[in-house]
Amino acid sequence: MDLHEQLKDIKTQLRLSMNGAVSQSMREKGLVYKLNFGVELPRIKGIAAGYEKNHDLAQALWKEDIRECKILAGLLQPVDTFFPEIADIWVENMPNIEIAELTSMNLFQYLPYAPAKAFQWIADEHEYTQVCGFLTIARLLMKKGDMDERSENEFLDQAVSAFLSGSYHVRNAVLAALRRFMEHSEENAFRVCRRVEGMKNSSREAEQLLYGLVKDEVGE
């Protein structure tokens, strides 16, 4: 099949798997797409399994303003042709938190340049760029476990700053990354606690919230 036929075939499979109740539920939760078939993730992965990873197909799927096509793009994009400049374009056009979470899980964490790119993203001011950066770091910490001291300091500086000034989704992504960082060792948990210990009686609600969430993570 050529690219056009593959796209047509994928859309046919999506329509046959359509779930209106799931689609409606997502709309009610604020996940708005031009088109959302409401196909559940296991089925989307099943559709992806029927195709070889293919750069042109993945890029064409990403350009579709369709929920399931965006998810499939992350599943079918080969790592070796997903250059840093393309990663930036995808992140700049990230439509919502669901696609940010799934693309970070299915693609971004596997990129050979993921650590450097994730640090670039967390320093950005754009909401979903930061989200993708912190979620990718969380995934990398799950696999690799730790980072050098300079990277740790930069990560903690950016995490605290982003949490205090960021949106709900940014805060959740920061917490995911901090959680993985603290799980790696008692020393890491101690370092995070030291960062927030002065926030306990802060007049800033965000600082009190971060302090409480960190303390909950370490069980204090």
pLDDT digits (tens, 9 = 90+) for 179-208: 999 999 899 999 999 999 999 889 999 999
Mean pLDDT (the chain) is: 93
Residue with tokens 């693309």: 103
Q: Is the model more confident about 147 or about 43? A: 43
The ranges assigned to domains in the chain are 1-81, 84-220
What span, in angstroms and rounded, lies between the C-alpha atoms of 52 and 33? 26
Segment 110-130 mean pLDDT: 96
- Can you give the pTM of this predicted structure? 0.92
Domain 84-220: which topology? Answer: 1.25.40
What is the model's pLDDT at position 220? 58
What is the number of alpha carbons within 13 Å of residue 93 lying toward its C-beta? 11
pLDDT digits (tens, 9 = 90+) for 13-41: 999 998 888 888 888 888 778 888 889 99
What span, in angstroms and rounded, lies between the C-alpha atoms of 188 and 200? 19
Q: Is the model more confident about 187 or about 145? A: 187
Given a cut of 90, whether residue 149 has pLDDT beyond it is: no
